[in-house]
Amino acid sequence: MKLAVIGTGYVGLVSGVCFALKDNKVICVDLAEEKIKKLKQAESPIYEPGIEELIEQNLQEQRLEFTSDLEDAVRRSDIVILAVGTPSLPNGEANLQYIEQAAAEVGAAMNGYKIIMTKSTVPVGTNEKIREVVARHTRHAFDIVSAPEFLREGSAISDTLHPDRIIIGIDNPALRETMVELHQDFTDNIYVTDIRSAEMIKYASNAFLATKISFINEIANICEKVGADVTNVAVGMGMDKRIGSSFLQAGIGYGGSCFPKDTNALIQIAGNVDYEFKLLKSVVEVNADQRYMMISKLRESLGQLNGIHVGVWGLSFKPNTDDIREAPSLEIVETLVKEGAFVKVHDPIAMDKFREQFNHEFIQWCSTPEEAALGSDAVCLLTDWDHYKQVDLRMLGSVLRKPILIDGRNVFTEQQIAESGLEYYSVGRPRMSGLNGLSPSVAGAV
Ligand SMILES: NC(=O)C1=CN([C@@H]2O[C@H](COP(=O)(O)OP(=O)(O)OC[C@H]3O[C@@H](n4cnc5c(N)ncnc54)[C@H](O)[C@@H]3O)[C@@H](O)[C@H]2O)C=CC1
Ligand SMILES: O=C(O)[C@H]1O[C@H](OP(=O)(O)OP(=O)(O)OC[C@H]2O[C@@H](n3ccc(=O)[nH]c3=O)[C@H](O)[C@@H]2O)[C@H](O)[C@@H](O)[C@@H]1O
């Protein structure tokens, strides 16, 4: 099939590349000329493992094009995919300015019947607005489809090629066959429903996953007070198939461009129809508090923050991405420097993006985790990159001024800590100290 993808960000680029791999002719469009220039050279403007190889392969096999000429791309396509951003407005509602603008441009460019498929995350009822906007700009016939995206950054390609399910919202039954044909190369698990339900499935799914994270974080906070270990609790809970083991990793809370934005948008969607989504409001509140746990643990271990030196490991909101949108690191590093701490940061990929958004004379940019630790009073791990799991903790103790490791993602094992000589603070696990020795863990399936 011939596809135009409007918006070549995390979603548009990955979708475009994966549709091209499945033998569709894809034209990816973006108004950012510098992105298009890079992409034409098979250079990705985002860090996503494996993406550049696939762009190159698709370009060579002439299934994929990049352009900033939206009109030409729309005219040469049968299906137009909207994948532009829907960021938060100050009140939490989704900002629909970009999607409405894109819809208007698509309408004005149309030269015949098109299917317009929305992949951006949009509040319930938005596809009806998109229909109105397109209709105002064209006299040609068209159909609207809601096809929300569920990929995760860092594993976006495999999530797209092997999704758990694909959701398609339509109001014209005649579209079912084309939509199934387009998507069945990825999975047979395709659920076709009405447009409003498809739009709601996206928000409900993200809100549910965010709820699981805030739930386990609250359990972690209680575990600390009652002497249980949240990592063991999560394993035991996850063995129940009704609960499932994913998204039960306690830590400093969720970040990223989606959970924070989409939970707030759903609260607003509910509020607009006079429904107070109390549970989701608490999920957001718990998440906001959770990142400050890092600061309280530093205070607990060092007394005061003014004048201390802190090594920070990890800036991106999760591993395997350069994305720092709503990353806990932003608030944590900013609080540290405001309190007068000197911060030595390291991230394998996201340092440039972080520096563009937040820079300060008290921040030192380090090229290795060891450099960030050297001479620091404590190290705080904020992102669970594999790089940090591989650091020799015995060496860490020898380069730190005080042997304190605060692990915001619970990545280290009891064994590693026992051998490390470090004073170890984590999220929802008993305080451990390699100096005093540990009693051996009894946890494990029989
Ligand atoms: N990032 C993620 O992991 C996921 C994002 N989503 C949703 O997908 C949507 C897109 O998200 P991202 O890809 O992260 O956004 P992004 O900000 O990375 O990319 C959006 C792109 O659209 C371009 N754009 C904006 N208006 C345009 C126009 N009129 N014509 C051409 N290009 C235009 C921008 O220049 C930008 O490159 C959002 O609604 C988001 O909630 C859904 C699932 C996963
Ligand atoms: O709508 C979106 O944009 C996407 O949002 C999330 O994907 P993403 O934000 O890329 O990454 P996740 O792996 O979900 O992680 C989100 C945040 O939750 C945190 N997290 C995740 C899992 C967990 O158990 N604990 C936890 O704290 C991560 O550290 C990260 O900060 C969803 O998982 C995707 O299905 C969805 O498409």
- Residue range 137-146, pLDDT digits in tens: 999 999 999 9
Q: Which active-site residues does the annotation give?
A: 258
- With a 6 A CB cut-off, is 203 part of the ligand 2 pocket? no
pLDDT higher than threshold 80 for residue 13: yes
Give the pLDDT confidence score for residue 129 in this predicted structure: 98
- With a 6 A CB cut-off, is 328 part of the ligand 2 pocket? no
pLDDT higher than threshold 70 for residue 249: yes
Give the pLDDT confidence score for residue 295 in this predicted structure: 95
Residue identifier of the C-alpha nearest atom 10 of ligand 1? 85
Mean pLDDT, the chain, as a whole number? Answer: 95
Backbone φ and ψ for 357, nearest 5 degrees, come out as -90, -35
In the reported structure, the alpha carbon of residue 303 is separated from the centroid of ligand 1 by a whole-number distance in angstroms of: 43
Give the pLDDT confidence score for residue 2 in this predicted structure: 98
Give the pLDDT confidence score for residue 77 in this predicted structure: 98
The angle formed by the CA atoms of residues 28, 30 and 34, to the nearest 5 degrees, is 115
Q: Which of 74-78, 388-392, 413-417 has the highest average model confidence (pLDDT)?
A: 74-78
Query: Which of 96-110, 254-268, 430-444 bottoms out in mean pLDDT, i.e. has the lowest?
Result: 430-444
Nearest to 45 by CA among 83, 23, 12, 91: 12
Residue identifier of the C-alpha nearest atom 6 of ligand 2? 152
Backbone φ and ψ for 81, nearest 5 degrees, come out as -100, 125
Q: How confident is the model at residue 440 (pLDDT cuts 50, 70, 90)?
A: low
Give the pLDDT confidence score for residue 443 in this predicted structure: 73
User: Distance between CA 354 and CA 310 in Å, rounded?
Assistant: 17
Nearest to 43 by CA among 73, 76, 8: 8
Give the pLDDT confidence score for residue 445 in this predicted structure: 72
Backbone φ and ψ for 343, nearest 5 degrees, come out as -120, 125
In the reported structure, the alpha carbon of residue 259 is separated from the centroid of ligand 2 by a whole-number distance in angstroms of: 7
DSSP 3-state of 25:
strand
Mean pLDDT along residues 72-96: 96
**Percent of residues, the chain, with pLDDT higher than 70:** 98
Give the pLDDT confidence score for residue 44 in this predicted structure: 96
Beta strands in 30-165 (DSSP E): 64-67, 79-82, 114-118, 142-146
Q: How many other CB atoms are there within 10 angstroms of residue 442's CB atom? A: 6
H-type alpha helices, 138-242: 156-161, 176-183, 195-226, 230-238
Mean pLDDT along residues 72-85: 98
In the reported structure, the alpha carbon of residue 374 is separated from the centroid of ligand 1 by a whole-number distance in angstroms of: 39
Give the pLDDT confidence score for residue 446 in this predicted structure: 72
Mean pLDDT along residues 407-419: 93
Residue identifier of the C-alpha nearest atom 19 of ligand 2? 254
In the reported structure, the alpha carbon of residue 437 is separated from the centroid of ligand 1 by a whole-number distance in angstroms of: 50
Tokens 């090229």 belong to which residue? 367
pLDDT higher than threshold 90 for residue 383: yes
User: Distance between CA 323 and CA 301 in Å, rounded?
Assistant: 30
Q: Which helix (H) or strand (E) holds 392?
A: none
For residue 328, give the DSSP letter. H
Give the pLDDT confidence score for residue 431 in this predicted structure: 79
Ligand nearest to the CA of 253: 2
Give the pLDDT confidence score for residue 158 in this predicted structure: 97
Ligand nearest to the CA of 260: 2
Residue identifier of the C-alpha nearest atom 17 of ligand 2? 254
The angle formed by the CA atoms of residues 295, 422 and 409, to the nearest 5 degrees, is 50
Give the pLDDT confidence score for residue 86 in this predicted structure: 97
Q: Which of 5, 8, 11, 209 to mutate to test the pocket of ligand 1 (most atoms within 8 A of CB)?
A: 11
For residue 49, give the DSSP letter. T
User: Distance between CA 311 and CA 332 in Å, rounded?
Assistant: 12
Buried/exposed code over 144-168 (b: 16+ C-beta within 10 A; e: otherwise): bbbbbbbbbbbbbbebbbebeebbb
User: Distance between CA 437 and CA 297 in Å, rounded?
Assistant: 21
Give the pLDDT confidence score for residue 435 in this predicted structure: 56
Tokens 């190889």 belong to which residue? 53
Q: Are 311 and 341 in contact (CB under 8 A)?
A: no
Q: How confident is the model at residue 441 (pLDDT cuts 50, 70, 90)?
A: low
Residue identifier of the C-alpha nearest atom 24 of ligand 1? 7
**Percent of residues, the chain, with pLDDT higher than 90:** 94
- With a 6 A CB cut-off, is 365 part of the ligand 2 pocket? no
Helices 97-109 and 126-137: angle between axes, nearest 10 degrees: 40
Per-residue pLDDT reduced to its tens digit, 303-362: 999 999 999 999 999 999 999 999 999 999 999 999 999 999 999 999 999 999 999 999
Calculate the alpha carbon distances from 240 to 205, 209, 234, 250 in Å: 20, 17, 10, 18
Mean pLDDT along residues 167-177: 97
Q: Are 325 and 256 in contact (CB under 8 A)?
A: yes
In the reported structure, the alpha carbon of residue 367 is separated from the centroid of ligand 2 by a whole-number distance in angstroms of: 26
> What tokens were used for 244?
């499932």
Does the pTM exceed 0.90? yes
Nearest to 378 by CA among 285, 312, 430, 321: 312
- With a 6 A CB cut-off, is 215 part of the ligand 2 pocket? no
Helices 195-226 and 259-272: angle between axes, nearest 10 degrees: 120
